Structure formats: structure tokens, C-alpha cells
Amino acid sequence: MDFELNGAQQMARELFSGFAEKEVKPLAAEVDEEERFPYETVEKMGKYGFMGIPVPKEYGGQGCDILTYVLCVEELSKACGTTGVIVSAHTSLCCDPIMKYGTDAQKARYLPALAAGKSIGAFGLTEPGAGTDASGQQTKAVLAEDYYILNGSKIFITNAGPADIYVVFAMTDKSKGIKGISAFIVEKGVAGFSVGKKELKMGIRGSSTCELVFENCKVPKENLLGQEGKGFGIAMSTLDGGRIGIAAQALGIAQGALDETVKYVKERRQFGRSISAFQNTQFKLADMKTQIEAARLLVYQAAKAKEKGGRYSTEAAMAKLFAAKTAVSVTTQCVQLYGGYGYIRDYPVERMMRDAKITEIYEGTNEVQRMVISSSMLK
């Protein structure tokens, strides 16, 4: 197992961290406070190829490995959890399935704009009645000559609203159960497709999370992604990759919180000395650093497993489970170390704590990750 980053990956990390420091960090508080989607950041990221890191060069992407993409999400998330998830959802949940399951025509049509960040991507699986149990898809798709007619709704869709391209799942044959679910590429502006209300969230408040509403929505039949009936498999395998992205986001949030806290405890003085002189503080910092480092190794391992080809669901699930728990635990402890100031919105740690929580829930709750891991053990 080689845990070292090679020279190019190390340089890529410096690129991402420099960008995050200069372009993302200054906006993070405002993006959270105003619940504002940072369009200007997405435009900049698109210009520099951050929106298509693993997309092949022939489709306008950067052609880099998964680990480089993970480094990007990690560094962005250190500064701003919202910005990290925008890239993660766009790349893992929209670019990836099109790359893997799309026809040449679909790839040529959608990937270049997605990779340049000119189109933003999203993934519509979750429904009011189908969350952890994703199989209960109520949204229907009926083939009528040259179109599939979609009816139904999706909920809690990340990037919905700003996104132009949506990978959406619907039931084409109810009698076949999960083998009757299919995947579609739905473009914004198609008749019968609208984005519903934007959710008011605890954290990642700049991320746009909305309903998708399909009312006799006509999707061209060329937009079927993969084969009819294979949609559930596409969704699950896409989520495996998505989990690595979210694990990277959680890792970044935790590291960002720890970095800020180390600076703070050196400066804060009580009882006549810096609070970093107290063993309570020191031990907490040590434990958090160790936890984050363990999470990092799991995340990078999952990225390398995916890169290698072959199955990586268990690695991805372990990475996401551990990184998410780490993010929640570390950010909560960081707020505590800041004392009263940690609760005040002038300081970034309370935002990081609010941002961290979602990583235990979306793209598969902690419980789902445990199901994936244990089922691989109990075959």
C-alpha cells in the first residue's frame, strides 16, 4: 500500500489549497449566512478544470486520477463545505455515470460543458417515500413513441436549481421491482420539468437543495442512460463513487476545523497562559489529529481502489462512514475548545459543525454504510 502522493498529486494539492485559501475561504461565511450558491466560484473552478478533474481529456476534462479529484474536494471543503459538495455532487453523481454508462453521443453532448463547469450536474434518486430504501421509486417513466413521459417528484436534490443536467431515476416497469428502474438524462428547461422549493437547511446552506417535479415531462428516448431496467444498478454504483467524494468533503471539513482551532488555542489566554498549555487541550488535539489521519488513509485508499478498477464498494463505505463520524466529532470538539466564541457566527467553527452533520446522512446514511460493509463480510 503506497500512501505517498506523487509529485504531480502533491502539486495538485497545493493548487487546490491555494485556490481555496484565496477564492473560496473569503466567501465562506457570506455564502452560509446568505444561503447563496457561489456561482462566481463555480465559474472560476470551471475555468481551471476543477469541475471535470476525472473526465477524460477527449471530452474536455482534465484526465486526472480519482485521488486528485479527492484532493480537490478535500481542500475546497477545508475552507467551505458548500463548495466541496457542489464539486462532489456534480462530478461523482452526474459526470461519472455519464462517463461510465453513456453512449458516445451522450458523452459528446454533455461531458464537455459539464467538465468546463458551463453546465452544472445533479442526481435525482431520492423521493419523499424512497430515502434509505431507494428501491421504492414512485416516479414513473412511460415510453410513448420518441419520448419517455416522466411523472413524479424527487426531494433533497443537491445542486438542483443551478444545475442544467440531471441524472434522474424512474420506474419503467413496476412489475420487475428494482429491475424495472431506469436512468435518464434530463436537461433543465425540458417541458414538464420544474425545480420546486429550496430547502432551508442546518448546514451547507449555500448548497442548493430542492425538489424536482415531473408533470408529463417529455424526455427524448435518446436520453435513456444505460439500458432500460438497469437503472438501480447504475444508481448504486454511482453512489459508491459519490461516497468517496462525500468522504473527502467530510475529511476536509474536519481538517479545516482542526487547523482553525490549533491557531485559536495558541492565542487564547486564560488563567494567565495560552490554553494550548493545558493538557486537556493538547490531548483533544492529539486525538482529533489521529482520527483525521485515519480517516484520510481510508479515503485515499478508497480512491486508489476505485482507480484500480474492480469492486470498491466496501472501501468507499468504510471511508464515508469513518470520515463522516470524524467530521461530526471533530467539529463538535472544536466548537467546545473555542468556548463561547465557538458559538458565535463570527468564528468559522460553528458553521463547520453545522456543515459536518449532513455527511452522516446523505449519499447513504451511516446506517446504509454499515449495511454495505457488513454484507460484504457475511456473504
Q: Which residues are catalytic?
A: 363
Query: How many residues contact another protein, by CB under 8 A?
Result: 24
Minimum gap (Å) between residue 37 Cβ and another protein: 21
CB 298 within 8 A of CB 65: no
**Which of 37, 41, 68, 95 touches another protein (CB under 8 A)?**
68
CB-CB contact of 331 with 358 (8 Å): no
Binding residue for another protein, selected from 118, 188, 201, 268, defined by CB under 8 A: 268
Site string for another protein, 220-259 (x = CB under 8 A): ----------------------------------------
**Closest distance to another protein from the beta carbon of 67 (Å):** 11
Beta carbon of residue 350, minimum distance to another protein (angstroms, whole number): 14
For residue 194, list its beta bridge partners: 213
- Using an 8 Å Cβ cutoff, are 372 and 317 in contact? yes
Residues 345-364 close enough to bind another protein by CB under 8 A: 346-347
Distance from C-alpha of 241 to C-alpha of 66, rounded to nearest angstrom:
9
- Taking contact as CB under 8 A, which single stretch among the options 57-65, 167-175, 236-244, 290-298 is the one that binds another protein? 57-65
Residues 21-50 that bind another protein (CB under 8 A): 29, 48-50
Is residue 19 at the binding interface for another protein, with CB under 8 A as the rule? yes
Among 5, 15, 149, 190, binds another protein (CB under 8 A): 15
**Residue 300 binds to another protein (criterion: CB under 8 A):** no
- Contact (Cβ atoms closer than 8 angstroms) between residue 53 and residue 84: no
Rounded to 5°, the CA angle 135-141-146 comes to 150
Nearer to another protein, 124 or 348 (CB): 348
d(CA 203, CA 205): 5
Please provide the DSSP assignment of 122-147 as one string: EEE--BTTBSSSTT----EEEEETTE
Cβ neighbors of 347 (< 8 A, separation 6 or more) are 260, 264, 338, 341
> Site residues (CB under 8 A) for another protein?
6-8, 11-12, 15, 18-19, 29, 48-50, 53, 57, 61-64, 68, 72, 267-268, 346-347
